[in-house]
Amino acid sequence: MGNYRIAVLPGDGIGQEVTAGAVEVLKAVGVRFGHEFTFEYGWIGGAAIDEAGTPLPEETLRLCRESDAVLLGAVGGPKWDGNPPHLRPEKGLLAIRKQLDLYANLRPVVCYDCLASASPLKPDLVQGVDFVIVRELTGGIYFGQPSGRVVENGEEKAVDTLLYKKEEIERIVRMAFTLARGRKKKVTSVDKANVLSSSRLWREVAEEVAEQFPDVELEHMLVDNAAMQLIRAPKQFDVIVTENMFGDILSDEASMLSGSLGMLPSASLSASGPSLYEPVHGSAPDIAGMNKANPIAAILSAAMMLRLSFGLTAEAEAVEHAVRQALDQGLRTADLAPSGGRIVSTNEMVEEIKTAVLDYTAIAQIMTVYA
């Protein structure tokens, strides 16, 4: 059975709680399936600023490069909000994405039947929602130069630059089409081509890539309309591909279709080295340290790691099955309270999922699917 080195970067706030939960579940996978997972910890974000004076220490980067995959929690918090730009926790996250070439951020949005009433939308609108947001992660306005504040002729200004190279667009759009080929064969490319030059290039490149995938339908949608369509008729989507900032914003919006931001996992795939897995949510300072955070986004991110980085499909299915079982049995962290059930802590949810992984049999899953 396999040996896998996993770099764990808990970061800040609930990042620490939810990664601890995901590690527990991975340990259970190791026991149940006979794998050896080695967990090595590194600093990132505010914790790294406090510890090493920088949001992404060299040591952390080295650890990640020497690992088979990276599990990350979240960064940021009010403690560092007043810091100068180079000492913001979020800089550490952006830097690791760039340094590890994590260009493709896959964010699956699924509404579990038992959580349809956790969504603020009508249950019949969200039941059956199942699409993936493919977000470009290493380009666009979060990285373009110049960026910063200037004083010109006594006037204070701030600038950010939205820049995309053709090849950056090509590779992410190709990823979306490849993904759609194994799904419902529809790509919605979201842009702002009525205003932005970068979006006009994006649209042209999407058309070019589409020619190589004649079996997949391509539609273009302006981002403002996309924000509305996600609420009006979310089941129209299969694969949404979009640039960095639009993907960031639309995925938080889309999380409400699944009931909570605490339900959305993600995989940040590298072009050249280990990939990174992280929940879509942030460090949630409002609930940090309270044992209230929903660990499922982090746990499902670990499942994505098993499937995409290690090729451990049965193991990934075991984790996903365990999550579904815990929810079907009525366990709910506080964020999922509107769907009824029994409110449990982060640790209780982790414990239940861990136990279900240890007890997992393929037969159990077949019974659930075909019952």
Ligand X SMILES: NC(=O)C1=CN([C@@H]2O[C@H](COP(=O)(O)OP(=O)(O)OC[C@H]3O[C@@H](n4cnc5c(N)ncnc54)[C@H](O)[C@@H]3O)[C@@H](O)[C@H]2O)C=CC1
Ligand Y SMILES: CC(C)CC(=O)C(=O)O
Q: In whole angstroms, how close is the CB of 280 to Mg ion at the nearest point? A: 6
Active site residue 252: yes
Out of 24, 238, 248, 315, point to the residue binding Mg ion (CB under 5 A): 248
By C-beta, is 248 or 335 nearer to Mg ion?
A: 248
Q: In whole angstroms, how close is the CB of 240 to Mg ion at the nearest point? A: 15
By C-beta, is 90 or 328 nearer to Mg ion?
A: 90
The region of 11-19, 86-94, 228-236, 349-357 touching ligand Y under the rule CB under 6 A is 86-94
Site membership for ligand Y, residue 243 (CB under 6 A): no
Out of 30, 42, 57, 76, point to the residue binding ligand X (CB under 6 A): 76
**Residue 336 burial (10 A CB sphere; 0-12, 13-18, 19+):** buried
Q: CA–CA separation, 184 vs 186, rounded Å?
A: 6
Active site residue 335: no
What's the length of the chain?
Answer: 371
262 neighbors 333 (Cβ within 8 angstroms) = yes
* Active-site entry in 248, 277, 335, 354: 248
Active site residue 248: yes
The region of 42-50, 72-80, 181-189, 248-256 touching Mg ion under the rule CB under 5 A is 248-256
DSSP 75: -
Query: What is the largest distance, in Å, between two alpha-carbon atoms of the chain?
Result: 72
Please list, residue by residue across 25-44, b when 16 or more beta carbons sit within 10 angstroms of its beta carbon and e when fewer do: bbbbbbebbebebeeeebbb
308 neighbors 108 (Cβ within 8 angstroms) = no
Chain residue at closest Cβ approach to ligand Y: 90
Q: DSSP states of 304-365 as a string?
A: HHHHHTT--HHHHHHHHHHHHHHHHTTEE-GGGGGG-SEE--HHHHHHHHHHHHHT--HHHH
Site membership for ligand Y, residue 17 (CB under 6 A): no
Site membership for ligand X, residue 74 (CB under 6 A): yes
* Active-site entry in 112, 192, 238, 277: 192
**Under DSSP, is residue 195 helix (H, G, I), strand (E, B) or coil?**
coil
Tell me the backbone φ, ψ of residue 159, rounded to 5 degrees.
Answer: -130, 140
Site membership for ligand X, residue 281 (CB under 6 A): yes
Q: Is 82 annotated as a binding residue?
A: yes
Q: In whole angstroms, how close is the CB of 180 to ligand X at the nearest point? A: 25
x/- mask, ligand Y, residues 282-301, rule CB under 6 A, reads: --------------------
Out of 54, 83, 87, 90, point to the residue binding ligand Y (CB under 6 A): 90
Q: In whole angstroms, how close is the CB of 255 to ligand X at the nearest point? A: 9
Question: H helices within the chain, ranges in order?
Answer: 14-33, 46-52, 58-65, 89-99, 123-126, 166-181, 197-211, 223-232, 244-258, 296-308, 313-328, 346-358, 362-370
What letter represents residue 96's amino acid? I
Q: Do strands 36-41 and 130-136 pair parallel, antiparallel, or not at all (unpaired)?
A: unpaired
Site residues for ligand X, window 99-138 (CB under 6 A)?
none
By C-beta, is 42 or 76 nearer to ligand Y?
A: 76
Q: Which residues are annotated as a binding site for Mg(2+)?
A: 224, 248, 252
Interface residues with ligand Y (CB under 6 A) are 90, 93-94, 142, 248, 280
User: Which residues form the catalytic set?
Assistant: 142, 192, 224, 248, 252
